[in-house]
């Protein structure tokens, strides 16, 4: 089988380098990459064990990259969740829907739709939100609390740049979190209601 070549041009040499870094991470040595300024070549050698599969995966990566960076339709980007998690430096695994909640608290439009995070935040902003949430979520895992309490505390702590302890105290004072008979922190209302009511708890006076 002949080698397959995909030629692409990006907006800048930095963007091209970032894309090639992603390709190398996702495809390893199954793809040969070449860069000249903002132009790149992706080469699938004849020796590839699954040339067709590798070619299809490359096309999928290109599509996901473009959706995350092209001028958004209706003011909304479509960030591939797989691409987002690959780019983010996460301390612990995270529920991606919580990233959407964090972005909403920060004033962005955001929702999960299929395998995409649709948001008015650009790719770098979405990656930053994922990393910030992961940092706070890692801290929240030390709480003697139900999973949804940890998630809520991490979302609010990331949104308002507060410590987990500060957020938990605020939630307790507002009656949104309570201690169970076993001494574990649990929600006093359902999660959606707690998130809605907690939005203004940590705003500056």
Structure tokens at 193: 């209601």
* Alpha helices, H only, 76-198: 81-87, 96-105, 123-140, 147-160, 164-173, 191-198
Give the predicted TM-score (pTM) of the model: 0.80
pLDDT of residue 205: 46
CA 129 vs CA 6, 88, 106: distances in Å? 32, 9, 9
Query: Which residues of the chain are under the pLDDT cut of 50?
Result: 205
The H or E element spanning position 44 is: strand 39-44
The phi-psi region of residue 70 (left if phi > 0; otherwise alpha if psi is between -120 and 50; otherwise beta) is: beta
pLDDT of residue 7: 93
Tell me the CB-side half-sphere exposure of residue 139, using CA atoms within 13 A: 19
pLDDT of residue 204: 59
Distance CA 91, CA 89 (A): 7
pLDDT of residue 1: 56
* Alpha helices, H only, 70-145: 81-87, 96-105, 123-140
CB 43 within 8 A of CB 4: yes
In the block, residue with structure tokens 């995966």 = 57
């Amino acid at each position: 089988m002949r080698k397959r070549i995909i030629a692409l041009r990006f907006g800048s040499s930095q963007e091209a380098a970032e894309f090639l870094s992603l390709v190398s991470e996702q495809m390893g040595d199954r793809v040969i990459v070449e860069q000249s300024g903002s132009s790149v070549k992706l080469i699938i050698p004849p020796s590839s064990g699954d040339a067709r599969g590798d070619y299809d995966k490359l096309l999928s990566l290109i599509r996901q990259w473009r959706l995350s960076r092209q001028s958004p339709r209706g003011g909304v980007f479509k960030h591939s969740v797989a691409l987002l998690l690959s780019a983010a430096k996460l301390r612990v695994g995270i529920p991606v829907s919580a990233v959407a909640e964090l972005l909403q608290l920060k004033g962005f439009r955001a929702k999960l739709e299929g395998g995409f995070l649709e948001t008015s935040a650009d790719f770098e902003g979405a990656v930053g939100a994922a990393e910030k949430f992961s940092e706070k979520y890692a801290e929240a895992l030390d709480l003697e609390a139900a999973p949804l309490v940890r998630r809520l505390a991490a979302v609010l702590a990331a949104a308002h740049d507060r410590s987990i302890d500060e957020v938990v105290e605020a939630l307790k004072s507002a009656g949104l979190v309570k201690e169970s008979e076993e001494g574990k922190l649990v929600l006093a209302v359902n999660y959606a209601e707690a998130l809605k009511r907690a939005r203004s708890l940590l705003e500056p006076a």
